[in-house]
Amino acid sequence: MATTIKDIARIAGVSPSTVSRILSNKKTLSSGYAPETISKINQIAKDLNYRKNRSAIELVTKTSQVLGIILPASPTNFAQEIIAGIQKVASLHDIDVIIAYAGEDSELLQMQALKTISERSVRGILLLGITLSATNAQFLRASDIPYIFLSVAQPEPDLPFIASNDFDIGYQATNYLIMHGHREIAFVGADIPSCVGQLRLDGYRQALKDHQIAYRADYVIPGNWLYEDGIQAMNMLEKLPHLTAVVAGSDLVAAGVINRARQLHHHIPSDLSIIGIDGTALCDIIYPQLTSIQQSFYEMGVKGTEQLIRQANITSSYTPICTKKGGSVATRNKQNE
């Protein structure tokens, strides 16, 4: 039987409310107590190994110091960066974090995760890297809990998000290669049907168009942002003789392309230039080091959490992107060929 404030009150010879006020430690309430009462209570609490009962507190106060995070079933490698940002801010405000996993595709698992989170009286919900089905989005809205999506921009205005501008990412990656003299550029490994994939592809196409380069459907090889997709993509790219550069959907995809290219005896970047997307720690670790469009993942976590805690009106925003230079892109002299 765990000790309660009643136990402490009985032993100390005071009322439970006294114990409650002292232990809850609110300056305004407990300031008036005699120092000896305070220290006595604290001592007894310690001796009896007293722990607060959060359920009881949350029940009576109807608020909690908990933030809910919903993650995709297979967290991407940058999810950790976002979570680090969330955790940083949360711990600064003495706020706990609970995590539930939702399948990306399975509507049922999504709902499960939403229920899990919304049944606990959380102060807010952070949804990482997922897009909800219409039904589930409706469920979220009806939950009456503040929420914000991270890393995936949402089309509907009442689903606030903090993310990169994925069109810009696609554009900037492609443009970077064009500026280095490339005109035969593939776009591989992205999950094209997804919002993110669609936007990045749009950016890619726009960059081509702005430089009078024809779009070729066979230069677009879809995937799921994975290392293996990079491997597969490279197998197909090999059959495209004029190709000189690749926009990879993620750093992982880029790593796959690079490694497979090496197996096929293509030299990076002289035979083939690669640019990644994400700018994760992986860029430095692979060889050659990867040039990549870097996203501000940590910042997404920080800003999202701050908004939720501040309880102000939640608004969507984009976090900055920048080009992180590695050694995977070569300058190409157009005149030479």
Partner DNA sequence: TTGTATGCGTTATCAC
Partner DNA sequence: GTGATAACGCATACAA
Q: Distance (Å, rounded) from C-alpha 113 to C-alpha 117?
A: 6
Residue among 44 and 89 whose Cβ is closer to DNA: 44
Site for a second copy in 272-301 (CB under 8 A): 281-282, 284-287
Whole-number minimum distance, CB 307 to DNA, in Å? Answer: 24
Residue among 15 and 106 whose Cβ is closer to DNA: 15
| Residue 312 contact, options a second copy, DNA, none, Cβ 5-8 Å cut-off depending on partner type | none
Task: Work out which of 127, 255, 300, 302 binds a second copy, going by CB under 8 A.
Answer: 255
Q: Distance (Å, rounded) from C-alpha 173 to C-alpha 175?
A: 5
Q: Distance (Å, rounded) from C-alpha 295 to C-alpha 250?
A: 11
Cβ proximity of 207 and 182 under 8 Å:
no
Residue 59 engages a second copy in binding (rule: CB under 8 A): yes
Cβ proximity of 156 and 113 under 8 Å:
no
Q: Distance (Å, rounded) from C-alpha 17 to C-alpha 14?
A: 8
- Interface characters, 128-147, with a second copy (x: CB under 8 A): --------------xxx---
- Interface characters, 51-80, with DNA (x: CB under 7 A): -xx--xx-xxxx------------------
Q: In the structure encoding, which two tokens stand for residue 309, read together?
A: 């805690």
| Residue 4 contact, options a second copy, DNA, none, Cβ 5-8 Å cut-off depending on partner type | DNA
Cβ proximity of 247 and 170 under 8 Å:
yes
Q: Distance (Å, rounded) from C-alpha 172 to C-alpha 187?
A: 13
| Residue 34 contact, options DNA, a second copy, none, Cβ 5-8 Å cut-off depending on partner type | DNA
The full DSSP string for 250-287 is SHHHHHHHHHHHHHTT--TTTT-EEEEEE--THHHHSS
Cβ proximity of 292 and 255 under 8 Å:
no
3-state SS class at 126: strand
| Residue 286 contact, options a second copy, DNA, none, Cβ 5-8 Å cut-off depending on partner type | a second copy
Whole-number minimum distance, CB 84 to a second copy, in Å? Answer: 8
Task: Work out which of 30, 116, 133, 198 binds a second copy, going by CB under 8 A.
Answer: 116
> From residue 229, how far is each of 54, 167, 248, 257, 261 by CA, in Å?
46, 21, 10, 8, 13
Residues that bind DNA (CB under 7 A): 1-2, 4-6, 13-18, 20-21, 23-24, 26, 29, 32-34, 37, 50, 52-53, 56-57, 59-62
Write out the residues near a second copy by the rule CB under 8 A. 2, 49, 51-56, 58-59, 64, 66, 75, 80, 87, 91, 96-101, 112, 115-116, 118-121, 142-144, 227, 252, 255, 259, 262, 281-282, 284-287
